[in-house]
Amino acid sequence: MKALFITLEGIDGSGKSTQAKRIAQWLEDFTGRRTICTFEPGGWEGGKTLREFILGSKSYNALSELLLFLADRSEHVEKIIMPALNSGHNIICERYNDSTLAYQSGGHNLEIAHVKRIITACNFPEPDAKILLDLTPETAFERMKSRKNLNDKFENDKFESEGLALMKNVAKFYRDSSENFIAVNCDKLSEHEVFNEIISRLEAMIKQCQSR
């Protein structure tokens, strides 16, 4: 079986980083392949500067925003994702094309067909599996507030500063497309239960691929 490319999606505060580390450890044991955790935007050498620009600047328009995320992805695919897969390593990537659809279209109202066309033209590799951590925006928002010790509105980055209104639109977009994912509703589950649910479904998917 070839190295696996798995993406992890969800609104801000849905627990992606924690689950990514745990899934990577499990996948490494299960497949016997080295497994690399990475993220977008900025998960490549030199990507920190672009990440800071994208998340720090509030003055560019929605199309520029889309193109900036795709530029970041282009570097990430070329410098990290493809070399790792070609060397036989699995990849767990926090955020990928579905974040662009959910935030730039679902959140910032770019026409979905237009965003899909541009993403398709980029010819980025397709993930083998996509995991969605589905959490209500209110719960995610509360978690983030307590983590960052802020009151009602975040001042940190471009997206967080838009607060609950953006999160609601993004969450709805993800939920409406949940049939494309291994989607786990995290609202009533502990971190460990979410992890168990993910790996039992991933394991079934991997075994099914192997039997083909």
Smallest separation, CB 76 to ligand TMP (Å):
9
Q: What is the dihedral of CA 177, 141, 18, 126, to 10 degrees?
A: 20
- Count of positions (residues) in the chain: 212
Rule CB under 6 A: say whether 75 interacts with ligand TMP.
Answer: no
Handedness of CA 138, 141, 147, 153 (dihedral sign): negative
At its nearest, how many Å lie between ligand TMP and the CB of residue 137? 12
Q: Does 39 bind ligand TMP (CB under 6 A)?
A: yes
The piece of 93-101, 116-124, 136-144, 201-209 that touches ligand TMP (CB under 6 A) is 93-101
Please state the closest distance from residue 176 (CB atom) to ligand TMP, in A: 17
- Residue window 159-178: x/- pattern of binding to ligand TMP, with contact defined by CB under 6 A: x-------------------
* DSSP code string of 73-91: HHHHIIIIIHHHHHTT-EE
Q: Among 174, 8, 167, which residue's Cα sits nearest to residue 91? A: 8
Closest distance of CB 29 from ligand TMP, Å = 26
Interaction between residue 99 and ligand TMP (CB under 6 A): yes
Q: From the CA atom positions of the chain, what is the Rg in Å?
A: 17
